[in-house]
Each structure stands twice: as structure tokens, then as C-alpha cells.
Amino acid sequence: MGVLLIPRLTLTLTIISLFIFLSRSSSQEILINNAERRIDLSTHIVKVFLTLKFHPTNCVWINMYVELMSFFQVENIGTNAVSEILLAFPPTQADHLAFVEALATTGKRKKKTYVPLVVKPTELPDAPNETKYFSISLVNPLNSGDTTTLEVLYVFTHSLEPFPMEISQSESQLVYYRDSALILSPYHIKQQTTFIKTPTTKVESFTRLDPTNRAGTEMKYGPYEDQPPYSYSPIIVHCENNNPFAVVEELVREVEISHWGSIQITEHYKLVHAGARHKGIFSRVEYQSRPSFSGVSSFKHLLARLPPRVHSVYYRDEIGNISSSHLRTDSQKSDLEIEPRYPLFGGWKATFIIGYGVPLQDFLFESPDGRRYLNFTFGCPLAESVVDKLTIKVVLPEGSKDPSAAVTFPVEQHLETKYSYLDVVGRTVVVLEKKNVVPMHNTVFQVYYTFNPIFMLAEPLMLTSVFFLFFVACVAYLHIDLSIRKGF
């Protein structure tokens, strides 16, 4: 079918793009043969898997993950080689977009291999309705008639809007998800399907755009044929979601390196239940005696995944230790199960601090050019949580020079100075800040710096010399006779 349609599609596309995208030659030349989008609403982090497919020889797949995963097959039908593919987002979604990842697939079936591609935001001068774009750079430019398959995963946060906004303790939480049944794309899409996975089978209502089917926890929009660029058809899904809406409003992680053998990490959390607000009374007797009906949208247990071989773990807040935590360690990872002081209902907040130490040799290495680098995990150790604002402070030892950080995605960086015990010139602190962080950001980053080991001796020397001087003073005092009389 694709083969037959191509000439006509080429024509229409060319005409459309002539009108709409005169400035952008590449757009007109790309055709998405098949797009499959899987939207996963099962947690509060919406993942979209998008797969874009082009004809076997002419295609790009884009696979989109709120867990939105779309599957695009992209085909170059123009005459010029195309080196980048555009993803389009309506402005409301773009504000909540936390993460985009694109993979090019090669090979078939079981021999499929994935090549990660560079994705970066771009601007188009004549974007309709303030559409935001991301461009995916292909490894090999797509020549005319070539196809490729792209899998794109993108993640939205704060996209499930609780409705009703306030619920009582016995009610379960319902949320709205708004999107378009048709994939917003600057390209012509020949065939597309969208699957939406809801957390439970309880769906209050959803917009129909035939063909639409619902079975169990899955809804299917499509397949829709031959949609021109920028087709948009808003849908709304109103479904139950009682998963913990754990949002860390602010997380400050301080990583303090000591060349004496340990890295000390202190994490300050400001946690909030971002779901439907709790209304009216909180009854302990209901909460205790009917756990399956009462407070289903609340949460009490949190899991923090810490590196293996952690030691000196603590969990506290401003008013002292919180006794409800368990640490399980094995050679691969350490799981810290923590409970806030009270169960979190919608709108309730809790702040706490987790601290731990890890052995230096696990995370600090020496690069071939003689510099040292810290290889540490970005993101938030709490499982399935969104961080609105993440600050990572890497406190380098006193005397370190030329710090630089290498992170795979854009973050704000600056330097600070911190004074700790017995510091004279202060420690250099590399501060990395990022908003809207999701678990997909838990990748490693590096901080490089130069350090002369002689500085390690500064503090012990200071201490010993102070004691030495003290004793010298004592000895002097005992041996010197300060009396004015002549002592005979």
C-alpha cells in the first residue's frame, strides 16, 4: 500500500509544505509511514513511547514514552539528504516535558540494535500556535528514498490533573489526562495509532474519535490514515489513579569528597503529595481498620535506591531522627525503605534528610591526563518520583583546581565556596541545577578536577602544630620563673 501511495503523498506533501514550510526544506521531504504511540498513565509520570517508521527503505520510526512511547517510521521522499527529524509538542505539553530520548533502530526482530541519537530543542520561525520543537540528529543522513525507524521516549510530569480537585479520605483519586488523538507532527503521517494504558480498569470517561476501542486497561485510538502535518484532535481521559503522586519540590544533594577515603552524601528533600488535595477529616481509626478503602491515594512507604557498599546511613528531619526505616544491602545495590513520620495525603508535605557515606574508590577515578574525576549518579534516589528542582553540590577537597562537570543533558552550572572544619581557603563547590527531573535522568555524570595530594596533609599538620605549640607553652610556663623577686 505504501508503495502505491507514495507518489500521491509526495505530491500532497510537497504542496502543503510549500505553503506552510517554505523556509524549511527538510520538512517537506519527510514522510512518516507509520507512527505508533503508547501512552502509559499508570504512574504520575506520564511516559510516551513513540515509534516512527518509514517504508523499509524509506522510513524513520519514532518511539514516544509520557510513558509516551511513539513509534515513527520516517521516510525521506525529497531529493536532499536529511540529517535531522523534528518532534513537535503543543506548548502546554512542552512545559511539562521532562525528558526526551531518541533511538535509531537497525536490524530486524531479534537482531535489533539501538543507537542513541542527539536530541536538542530548536526553534522554528513560523511555528503555528507556539508549537515547540525538538530536533533529532540522525547518525547517517537519510538520502532520498531511504527509510529509518526511530524510537522516541518522552516523559511528562504534572500532566495528570486531579479531578475532583479535593477528595476525602475514603474516596479514590481520579485524574484527567489531556492530549491529542492525532500525533502532532510537522510531517505527514500515513498511518498512526495511539494506545493509552490506564492504571486500573476504572475509567470515568474518555473522548471518542472513531475508531476508538477500550479493553481492560488499554485504550486504542486509531488507526488513522493520512493525517496532514499539524493535525490535532484534543482528547481527554478521566481515569482512576491511586499511585503515589510523590513529588519532591526541592532536592539538594551535597556530595562531599574526602581524599581520606570516603564520599559523604547529604540529601535534603521537600516532599509533597501532588495529587488531589485531602479534604475534611483524617480519621486514624478508618485508616487503621480499613486500609483497602480508606486513604487509597495516600502513601507511606518510599524506597530510596542507594549505591552498593553504603555506610553510616541516616534518615532524619529538623526535629530529630525518624525511626521508621530499613536498609537492605547486597553487592549490587542498597535499598533504603523509609516512611515519613505520617502518611502523606493529597497536599500534605514532609521534609527530611537522608545521609550516607560511600567508599571513595567506587566513585573517584583518575583520568589518563592525570586529573581526577568523580563518577556519580545524577537524579533522585527515590523510586518513581518527580523532582521539581534538583541541585547537586559537589564539594571538592580543599586545594582542588580547574573543576569542570560533564553531564549528558543540559544543566545550569556555577561554582561556590564552602567552609568546613579547619578550612583556610575554602572548598570549591560545583553546583549543578536542573528542573523537572524524572527517574530517566538517573545517569552518571562526571566532575573533573586537579588535586595535589600534599593538600591532604594540611589539616593534620595544622592540628599537630597547634597541640605542639600548646605543649611548648606549657613546658615554657613551668620552667620560666616570672616572679619579680630574685629566686635564690
Partner 1 sequence: MAATLGSSPSDLLSNLIPKSFKLKTKQQELLIRVSILCLVYILAFITRLFSVLRYESMIHEFDPYFNYRTTLYLTEKGFYDFWNWFDSESWYPTWPNHRWDPLPGSHGHGRHHLLGPPVPPVHRSHPGTALIAICPGYISRSVAGSYDNEGVAIFALLLTFYLFVKAVNTGSLAWSLASGIWFVGFQHVQSGEHMAAMGVFFLMQVFYLLDWVKYMLSDTKLFQAFLRITVGSAAGVGAVALGLGMASGYISPWTGRFYSLLDPTYAKDHIPIIASVSEHQPTAWSSFMFDFHILLFLFPAGLYFCFKRLSDATIFIVMYGLTSMYFAGVMVRSKGKTTTTGSTRGTSGSKASSRALPDQSQPFQKNGAIALLVCAFFLLSKYVTHCTWVTSEAYSSPSIVLAARGAHGNRVIFDDYREAYFWLRQNTPPDAKVMSWWDYGYQITAMGNRTVIVDNNTWNNTHIATVGRAMSSYEDEAYEIMRSLDVGYVLVVFGGVTGYSSDDINKFLWMVRIGGGIFPVIKEPDYLVNGEYRVDKGAAPKMLNCLMYKLSYYRFGELVTEYGKPPGYDRARGVEIGNKDVKLEYLEEAFTTSNWIVRIYKVKPPNNRW
Instruction: Lay out the site mask for partner 1 across 235-274 (x = CB under 8 A, - = otherwise).
Output: ----------------------------------------
Segment interacting with partner 1 (CB under 8 A) among 34-42, 209-217, 319-327, 377-385: 319-327
CB of 349 to partner 1, least distance (A): 4
Helix (H) / strand (E) element for 317: namely: strand 311-317
Amino acid symbol at 82: V
C-beta separation of 419 from 26 below 8 A: no
- The nearer residue to partner 1, 229 or 346, going by C-beta atoms, is 346
Question: Whole-number minimum distance, CB 362 to partner 1, in Å?
Answer: 28
Q: In terms of DSSP H, where are the helices of 417-485? A: 458-479
User: Measured from the CB of residue 323, what is the shortest distance to partner 1 in angstroms?
Assistant: 5
Distance from CA of residue 239 to its chain's centroid? 24
Q: Which residues contact 7 (CB under 8 A, 6 or more apart)?
A: none
Bridge partners of 430? 394, 415
Our CB check for partner 1 shows the closer of 326 and 349 to be 349
Residue 322 CB, shortest distance to partner 1, in Å, is: 8
- Overall size of the chain counted in residues: 488
Residue of the chain from 1, 4, 215, 281 that contacts partner 1 (CB under 8 A): 281
Residue 175 has φ and ψ, to the nearest 5°, of -130, 155
Interface mask (CB under 8 A) for partner 1, residues 299-318, using x and -? ------------------xx
Among 280, 291, 308, 460, binds partner 1 (CB under 8 A): 280
CB of 467 to partner 1, least distance (A): 14
Q: Tell me whether strands 277-278 and 166-167 are parallel, antiparallel or unpaired.
A: parallel
Question: Residue 252 is placed in which grid cell?
Answer: 539538594
The answer to whether the beta carbons of residues 38 and 154 sit under 8 Å apart is no
3-state secondary structure of 301: coil
Q: Identify which of residues 2 and 244 has a Cβ nearer to partner 1 in the complex.
A: 244
- Rule CB under 8 A: which of 41-100 touch partner 1? none
The Cα–Cα gap between 310 and 213 comes to 49
| Residue among 247, 258, 326, 203 at smallest CA distance from 44 | 247
Using CB under 8 A, which residues numbered 442 to 481 contact partner 1? 478
Asked if 104 contacts 138 with a C-beta cutoff of 8 angstroms, the reply is: yes
Question: Is residue 120 within a helix (H) or strand (E), and if so which, with residue range?
Answer: strand 113-122
Per CB under 8 A, the list member of 289, 361, 408, 443 interacting with partner 1 is 289
Q: How far is it, in rounded angstroms, from Cα 92 to Cα 113?
A: 34
Under the binding rule (CB under 8 A), the answer on residue 320 touching partner 1 is yes
- Least separation in angstroms between CB 253 and partner 1: 21
Per the rule left: phi > 0, alpha: psi between -120 and 50, beta: everything else, 117 is beta
Q: Contacting partner 1 (CB under 8 A), which of 3, 319, 454, 482?
A: 319
Asked if 282 touches partner 1 (CB under 8 A), the answer is yes
> Does residue 205 belong to the site contacting partner 1 (CB under 8 A)?
no
**Of residues 336-355, those binding partner 1 (CB under 8 A):** 341-342, 347-351
Q: Which of residues 283, 377, 446, 450 is near partner 1 by CB under 8 A?
A: 283
Residues in a beta bridge with 209: none
Size of the site for partner 1 (CB under 8 A): 23
Residue 228 or 343 having the CB closest to partner 1: 343
Nearer to partner 1, 128 or 291 (CB): 291
Binding site for partner 1 (CB under 8 A): 280-285, 289, 317-324, 341-342, 347-351, 478
